[in-house]
A and B are shown apart, each in its own frame.
Chain A
Amino acid sequence: MEQIILKNLGKPDSHKLENYAASGGYKAIQSALKMRPDNIVQMVKDSGLRGRGGAGFSTGLKWSFIPKDPTIQKYLCCNADEGEPGTFKDRGIMDNDPHLLLEGMMITSYAIGASVAYIYIRGEFDFGARRLDAAIDEAYAKGYLGKNMFGSNFSLDIYVHKGFGAYICGEETALLESIEGLRAQPRKKPPFPALAGLYGKPTVINNVETLACIPAIIEKGPEWFSKIGTEKSPGPKVFCVSGHVKKPGLYELPMGTTVRDLIFNHCGGMLTGRPLKAVIPGGVSAPLLTARELDTPLDFDSLAAKGSMLGSGAVIVMDESACMVKSAYIINRFFSHESCGKCTPCRDGTPWLTRVLKRIEHGEGNPGDIELLESLCTNIFGRTFCPLGDGAVMALRGHLKNFREEFQFHIDHKRCMAS
C-alpha cells in the first residue's frame, strides 16, 4: 500500500526541512492558505477522518465546534503524550518526520483560526522534542512559521511543551491543565475544550497521527482519502506491533486490515512458532482478542463490536507461553500507578485490584478472589471521572472473560498454568 504517514521513514535525514520539501512537503499548507478555512474543515469532515488517539471521534466535526468569532483567541494542542503502553507510532513520526506534523498543525491552525499551537510531548521523548524544536526553528527561518507565514495574512506560533511522565496527561483536559502549569488532573466536561479549553479559550486537541493525515487530505482530496480503509473508518492507520512476532514495528496499513493479515503476512508470523494465545489490539486498556478472533478487522467499529477497541493501534501479541494472570497484574499495576488520584473509584479501586492480582499471581490467592475482582470492576466501571479507571477495568475484564480458568488455576494450585 502507498505510505502516507510513514512515507519518509527510513529516508536519509528525513527530519530536515529541505528533504521534506523535496519529497513534496509544505505544498498542502500553501494551497490550504489559499482556501477558506471552513472549506478545509468541510474537506476533513468529508474525508471521514477519525481521531487516531483512541476515541475515534470525527476530526472535522471536532474542528467545526470551534466558534467562528475571529476576535476570540483559539488554540491547537497536539497530543503527543503517547503514554499507552505498546504505542510508539507518534514517536516514529516526530523523530523521523517532524515537518509532516508541523504541516498538519499549520493547516489545522489555519482551519480553526488558532494563532498559537502547542505540541504536548511526553517527557521521555527527549530526542523527538529536540527534533521538533529544530524543525520549528527551520520553519521559522524559512518564514513557514511566525508572522505572515508563507507570505499570507495568517500567523502562527508553535511551541513544544514537555510533559513529566504522567499517563493522565494523555487525557485531553489533564493535558490542558499541564500546559497551564497546573497539576495534571482531568477537568469536568462540559464545557468541552472546543468552547473552553486552554486558558479558557476554544481549543482543538488532536493526536499526532491525526494531524499527520491532514496534508495528504488537502493535497489529494477527501474522496481519495475516504476510499482507503473501511467505509466507517477510512484512511491509513499506523499499527505498533510488539510481542511474540518475528518482525515487530510500525506498519502503515489501511483501516480494516485483519489481525491475522497483520501478524502473519506483514509481521512474519509468530516469533518461535508457538501458537498465538491472545492479542491486545489497541493498547493495554483494550480488552484482548483470542486466537479464535484473529479475523477481526482492525478498525473502530469492528473491534467495538467484539467488545474491544482500536485505541491507539498498539497491537501486542502473546503466544502460549504468556501467563494471563501475570499480564493482567502488570497491566493493572500500570493503571493503579498512573491513576491521578482525583476520583475515588480509580484512586482507591485500581490499587485494590492490583493488590488482589498480585496475591493471585504470587500463589497467595483465595477462593472468592475472582468474584471480588469482578465485583470491584463493577464498582469502578462507569463511575470514574475520566476513562482511565474504565480502561483498567476493561483490560482486566478482557483477561477474566477469556482466561478465567487460568486465574482459577493460580488460586487452586498456587502456581502458573502457562509455564
Chain B
Amino acid sequence: MVTVKINGKEITVEDNTLILDAARHAGYEIPTFCYQADLVGIGSCRMCLVEIEGQRKLQPSCVTPVLHGMAINTETPTVMSARASMLEFLLANHALDCPVCDKGGECELQDMVYKYGPHKGRHAEPKFKFQEKDYALSPVIIKNSNRCVQCLKCVRVCREVVGANVLGALGRGDHQEETSFFRHFLDCDQDGNCIEVCPVGCFMRLPYRYKTRPWDLKGADTICQWCATGCRMVIEERDGVLIRSKAQFGVGLNSETLCARGRFGNDSMTRAERLKTPLVRRFGKLEPASWQEALAVIKDNVPSDGERIGGIASPRLTNEELYLFQKLFRNVFGSANIDSSARWDPDAVEAFIKAASMDAGGVSVFDCMESETVIVIGSQVSDENPVTDYIIRRISAGRRMNLVIASPRAMKLDSSANLKIRHTAGKAGALLESVILSFNSARVAGTGGLEDMASGRLASVTSEAGVDGEAVESLARKLKSSGSVAIMAGTDFLRFPEGIAKLGLLKDLLKSSGKKVSVLPLLDRANQRGAWEMGVHPSLGPAYARAKQKGLGTDEMLEAVSKGALDFLYIAGSDVASMYPDEGVATAALGRARFLVVQDTFMTDTAKFAHVVLPGAAFGEKEGTFTNQEGRAQAIRRLMHPPGKAKPDLDIIRAIGERFDPSFGPKNFVLALDEIRSGNRMYSNVSLAFNNKKNSDNRLDSKEALVQGAGASDLEAKEFAQKPSAESAEYPFRLITGNHLFHSGKGTMRSETLSGLLKAAVVEISEEDAASLGLKNGDRVRVKSKDYAAVVTLRTARGSKNAHAFLAENFEDCPVNRFLRRGEGPPMVSITRA
C-alpha cells in the first residue's frame, strides 16, 4: 500500500495503482479517450495529463502508477489548459458534422468539449479529410474516419479482447486511419466491439444508421438471451421497434463487450411475424381465438391421469416461469414428465451436473481464470460463448498461466493457448482418461503388473482419443505442477455423455491430490442452468433435490406420444421438431400427439403440429431472472409490451394453473421469485438488485449474484455406453454440430441483421481435407450421409482435426437433425463438389 496526496487529499491505495484510479478513489475524475481498463494502456491521447509535484512535465495518469509520497494535482490551471488544448487539437481535424452524426448526443468528444472547453475554435485552416463518403467495413460496420480521435481503442479491442485482429492503422501522423487492411471489407466476428468502444462517430453500426437520436430511445438494462455467458446489456426501442442493443463500460461481467448475436440479434423481437393471438385448431386448421377459448380447450383436454401428461419448457424462459412450469406439472397435473431440453438426455444432464459440481453453487469465471491451469474442453467456446472467449483471452494474456484447449475444431482462442489438443469428436472422455492415467503413472510406477496394465490402457485410450501421447503427457505435467486447476466443460459432454464419468474422475483425482479445482459448465442456452435448478427435469426437483417420482424426459415423452401412452403435451418455448436430434422421430411423434399445446413467440415447426398455440412474450417484454452458466442469477427487464394479445409466459402458465386451482400461483415475477427463494436453498439469497450495480473500477465480478450450494446431494452418475457410428470408407467424415458464431438455436435466424450476416448453412472441414478433396473455401459441396444429403457452402479451417465436418444446428436450409439418428453416434458423411 502506498499513500499519495491528490489535490491535497491524502489517500492510501494498493501498489501499482494508476494515478487515474487513485484519483477516482479520491473523488476526482480525469478525462480520457485512449484509456480503457480492459486494454493495455498506451498513454497517447494526453487528455489525462496531470501535474506531479517535483516533475517538470505533465504526466499521463493512465499509464503512470503512483509512488509513495507522490503529490498529484489534477485540477490546476496548467492541467486544465492542457486538457483544453488537447481538445482543441482533436477538433482541428475533426469533421464537426454533429448534426448528421449517429453519435451526436452520446459522443465523448462532445461531452468533453462541453466540460473542458475550448468553446471557441482558433483553427481556421482547411481540414484534412480522409474521405468524402462514409464507407462500409462490414455488413454491420460503417466508418467515417474524419471523426476519428485516434484513440486506437477499436484496434486494441479487436486484437486484445476479441482476438480477431483485423483492424490496424494506415498512414502516419494526422493521416493515420484506423481501419481494415487497406479498407477491405471485413470477414470477421462482426461483433461490433470496435463500434462500442469508439468514443466518437467514427465506427458506427450500419443497422442503426440514421434511425434515431439517442435521446429518443427508451432503454432497459437487461441480460442477453443468446447464450449462457450472461452478458449484461441495454436494449433500446423507439416507436415499438427494437433499434439497438449495447453494452456498458464497467457494468456486468462483459463490461463493454458483446458478440454479434447479442449486439445485432435482438431485432428478431419486433418482427411482424410474431404470434399475436392464441390459435386453436378447428377442423384441422389453426384459427385465431380468444384467451378464454384457448384456455377452456386446454382445460378440457388435460387428462386426469398425470402419467399421460408431459411438458417441455425452453431453457430460454425465466427462472420464475420455469419454476411455475414444474409446479404446474408436479403439483397440479400430478405429472413428473417434464424436461427442459429437446437435445439432452436427462440422465446425462444429471451426471453432468454431478461431474461439474453444479449443486455446490455458482463458480465465477473470473475465479476460474485465477487458476494456474485452465482447461477448456467439450466446447467450441469462441463460437458458443464468444464473450467467455473474450474474458479468457484478456485475462490469460495478462498473467502467467496455462491455457489448454481440447476440441476437434480449431478456434480463435487457440492463439491464447499454450497447449491445444485436437481429439476425435465425442472422445473427450478417452482424452481425459489418458490424462488421468498419465497423471497417475508416477503413482503406479514400480508395481510391475499394474504399470503394464496402465500403460497398455494409456496407449489404447490415447489412440482412441486420436491424440498424440506427447500432448497428453504435457497436459498431465501441467496439471501436476499446478496448485489450482479450472476445467471449463462444454455441451459436447451432453452430446456425448460417455465422457462425463471421466470428467468427474479427473475432478476428484485433482482434488484428492490437494489441488484447488473449479469446474465451470459452458452452456449454450441463456437459462439452461436456471431450468435445471428450478427443477425442470424428470428426476430432479428444485435445487437438484431428487423428485419423489421419476418422470419421462423429452426422448421418452416423444416415444410415449408415438405409442399413445401420453395424451397431452405442453411445449413452452421449445422447438422440438427442429432441435430434437432426429427430425423423423420428433415430427412423427408430434404428428401423432392427441393434444399438443405450444407456447412460443413465432410459428415454429413444432407449433405447426399444435392443437392450441399460445403467443408468448420475448425476453424484452417480460421480467424475471436468468441464471447463467456460472450460476449468476441476474434480472432481465421489460422494455416493451408483448404484441397484440401475446402475454408474458409467466401469466400464461399461471392462467392455466388457475383453471385447475384458483390459488395456484404467485401473481407476478417478484412473488414468484419470493416463492423460489423460500423453497430453493440455492436461491435463498438471490436479489434482483445484484446485477444492477455499476462497478466504478471495472471490477466486474459481483460474486454476491452467484447461487449457493444445495447442501448434501444424492445426484447419480450413470455410466453411458458409446453410441455406434457407422464408419465406412464411403463416408469418411464424422459430422459434428453446435452453434454457429452468428447464431443461437433457431431464434437468431429471425433476426434481420444476423440472417443478413449468414443465412445459408456452411459446412466446415480442415484445410488439409479440403485440399486433398480439391476443394476450397466458398465452394458449394454436397454433404451426404446414409440418410440425408444437402448442398451447402464449404468453409475451411486451419488447424482443425482431419476427417471431421462441422455443420451448425441453426440453419433452416440444412436441418442437422435430418442427419442425426436416434440411438446412433455422430453420423458419418461424405463431402463432394456439388
- Cα distance A352–B127 in the bound complex, in angstroms: 9
CB-defined contacts of A356 to chain B, threshold 8 Å: 125
Instruction: Check if A382 is an interface residue, CB within 8 A of chain B.
Output: yes
- Cα distance A95–B289 in the bound complex, in angstroms: 93
**Residues from 125 to 179 in B contacting A, C-beta threshold 8 Å:** 125-126, 128, 149-150, 168-169, 171-176
**Residues from 360 to 405 in A contacting B, C-beta threshold 8 Å:** 372, 379, 382-385
Instruction: Check if A222 is an interface residue, CB within 8 A of chain B.
Output: no
User: Within the complex, what minimum Cβ distance (angstroms) separates B430 from chain A?
Assistant: 39
CB-defined contacts of A345 to chain B, threshold 8 Å: 46, 85-86, 89
**A188-B172 in contact given A352-B92, A352-B123 (Cβ < 8 Å):** no
CB-defined contacts of B45 to chain A, threshold 8 Å: 343-344
**Residues from 32 to 83 in B contacting A, C-beta threshold 8 Å:** 41-47, 49, 56-58, 63, 81-82
- Cα distance A338–B174 in the bound complex, in angstroms: 10
Instruction: Check if A340 is an interface residue, CB within 8 A of chain B.
Output: yes
Total interface residues on A, CB under 8 Å, equals 28
Contact indicator B85/A382 (Cβ below 8 Å): no
Contact indicator B168/A183 (Cβ below 8 Å): yes
Contact indicator A348/B172 (Cβ below 8 Å): no
User: Within the complex, what minimum Cβ distance (angstroms) separates B44 from chain A?
Assistant: 5
**A382-B173 in contact given A188-B41, A188-B43, A343-B44 (Cβ < 8 Å):** no
**A383-B57 in contact given A188-B42, A343-B46 (Cβ < 8 Å):** yes
- Cα distance A359–B57 in the bound complex, in angstroms: 31
Interface string of A319-354 (1 = CB under 8 A from B): 000000000000000001111111111011111100
Instruction: Check if B360 is an interface residue, CB within 8 A of chain A.
Output: no
Total interface residues on B, CB under 8 Å, equals 36
**A341-B123 in contact given A348-B90, A379-B89, A385-B46 (Cβ < 8 Å):** no
- Cα distance A383–B86 in the bound complex, in angstroms: 9
Instruction: Check if B764 is an interface residue, CB within 8 A of chain A.
Output: no
- Cα distance A142–B168 in the bound complex, in angstroms: 44
User: Within the complex, what minimum Cβ distance (angstroms) separates B800 from chain A?
Assistant: 27
Instruction: Check if B93 is an interface residue, CB within 8 A of chain A.
Output: yes
Instruction: Check if A166 is an interface residue, CB within 8 A of chain B.
Output: yes
CB-defined contacts of B89 to chain A, threshold 8 Å: 344-345, 347-349, 352, 379
Instruction: Check if B256 is an interface residue, CB within 8 A of chain A.
Output: no
Instruction: Check if B347 is an interface residue, CB within 8 A of chain A.
Output: no
* Chain A residue with Cβ nearest B40: A188
**A339-B44 in contact given A345-B86, A348-B89 (Cβ < 8 Å):** no
Contact indicator A344/B90 (Cβ below 8 Å): yes
Contact indicator A337/B173 (Cβ below 8 Å): yes
- The residue that B125 contacts in the complex, of A341, A352, A384, with Cβ under 8 A, is A352
- Cα distance A264–B460 in the bound complex, in angstroms: 89
CB-defined contacts of B86 to chain A, threshold 8 Å: 344-345, 383
**Residues from 100 to 146 in B contacting A, C-beta threshold 8 Å:** 122-123, 125-126, 128
Instruction: Check if B88 is an interface residue, CB within 8 A of chain A.
Output: yes
Contact indicator A340/B46 (Cβ below 8 Å): no
- The residue that A347 contacts in the complex, of B41, B81, B168, B174, with Cβ under 8 A, is B174
Contact indicator A379/B174 (Cβ below 8 Å): no
Contact indicator B174/A348 (Cβ below 8 Å): yes
Contact indicator A339/B174 (Cβ below 8 Å): yes
User: Within the complex, what minimum Cβ distance (angstroms) separates A339 from chain B?
Assistant: 4
- The residue that B173 contacts in the complex, of A339, A359, A383, A385, with Cβ under 8 A, is A339
| Residue with the highest number of chain A CB atoms closer than 10 Å, among B63, B150, B172 | B172
User: Within the complex, what minimum Cβ distance (angstroms) separates A291 from chain B?
Assistant: 32
- Cα distance A355–B174 in the bound complex, in angstroms: 13
* Chain A residue with Cβ nearest B42: A188
CB-defined contacts of A352 to chain B, threshold 8 Å: 89, 92, 123, 125
Secondary structure class of chain B's binding surface, majority of residues: loop
Contact indicator A351/B174 (Cβ below 8 Å): yes
CB-defined contacts of B90 to chain A, threshold 8 Å: 344, 348
User: Within the complex, what minimum Cβ distance (angstroms) separates A304 from chain B?
Assistant: 14
Contact indicator B44/A379 (Cβ below 8 Å): no
**A347-B57 in contact given A342-B44, A372-B122, A385-B46 (Cβ < 8 Å):** no
User: Within the complex, what minimum Cβ distance (angstroms) separates B51 from chain A?
Assistant: 11
- Cα distance A166–B171 in the bound complex, in angstroms: 11
Contact indicator B63/A166 (Cβ below 8 Å): no
- Cα distance A347–B57 in the bound complex, in angstroms: 19
- Cα distance A157–B63 in the bound complex, in angstroms: 35
CB-defined contacts of A338 to chain B, threshold 8 Å: 172-173
Contact indicator A359/B43 (Cβ below 8 Å): no
- Cα distance A166–B464 in the bound complex, in angstroms: 56
CB-defined contacts of A350 to chain B, threshold 8 Å: 173
* Chain B residue with Cβ nearest A385: B44
**A348-B93 in contact given A355-B125, A379-B82 (Cβ < 8 Å):** yes
- Cα distance A342–B173 in the bound complex, in angstroms: 7
* Chain A residue with Cβ nearest B151: A344
Contact indicator A382/B58 (Cβ below 8 Å): yes
User: Within the complex, what minimum Cβ distance (angstroms) separates A354 from chain B?
Assistant: 9
**A348-B92 in contact given A382-B58, A385-B46 (Cβ < 8 Å):** yes
Contact indicator B172/A379 (Cβ below 8 Å): no
User: Within the complex, what minimum Cβ distance (angstroms) separates B211 from chain A?
Assistant: 32
* Chain A residue with Cβ nearest B65: A190
| Residue with the highest number of chain B CB atoms closer than 10 Å, among A337, A350, A351 | A351
- Cα distance A349–B90 in the bound complex, in angstroms: 9
* Chain B residue with Cβ nearest A375: B122
Contact indicator B173/A347 (Cβ below 8 Å): yes
CB-defined contacts of A382 to chain B, threshold 8 Å: 56-58
* Chain A residue with Cβ nearest B93: A348
- Cα distance A348–B150 in the bound complex, in angstroms: 10
* Chain A residue with Cβ nearest B172: A341
- Cα distance A49–B126 in the bound complex, in angstroms: 48
- Cα distance A273–B163 in the bound complex, in angstroms: 65
User: Within the complex, what minimum Cβ distance (angstroms) separates B153 from chain A?
Assistant: 14
Contact indicator B56/A341 (Cβ below 8 Å): no
CB-defined contacts of A183 to chain B, threshold 8 Å: 168-169
Contact indicator B172/A339 (Cβ below 8 Å): yes
CB-defined contacts of B81 to chain A, threshold 8 Å: 379
- Cα distance A337–B171 in the bound complex, in angstroms: 11
Contact indicator B82/A385 (Cβ below 8 Å): no
- Cα distance A166–B82 in the bound complex, in angstroms: 28
- Cα distance A372–B62 in the bound complex, in angstroms: 30
User: Within the complex, what minimum Cβ distance (angstroms) separates B17 from chain A?
Assistant: 16
- The residue that B46 contacts in the complex, of A337, A339, A351, A383, with Cβ under 8 A, is A383
Contact indicator A344/B173 (Cβ below 8 Å): no
- Cα distance A350–B93 in the bound complex, in angstroms: 12
- The residue that A341 contacts in the complex, of B42, B82, B92, B150, with Cβ under 8 A, is B150
**A166-B172 in contact given A188-B42, A345-B89, A383-B57 (Cβ < 8 Å):** yes
Which 5 A-B residue pairs are closest in the complex by CB-CB distance? Answer: A341-B176, A379-B85, A348-B89, A355-B125, A339-B173
A-B contact pairs, 6 of them (CB 8 A): A339-B172, A341-B176, A347-B176, A351-B128, A379-B88, A383-B86
A-B contact sample (4 more), CB < 8 A, given A342-B44, A345-B46, A350-B173: A343-B43, A345-B89, A347-B150, A382-B58
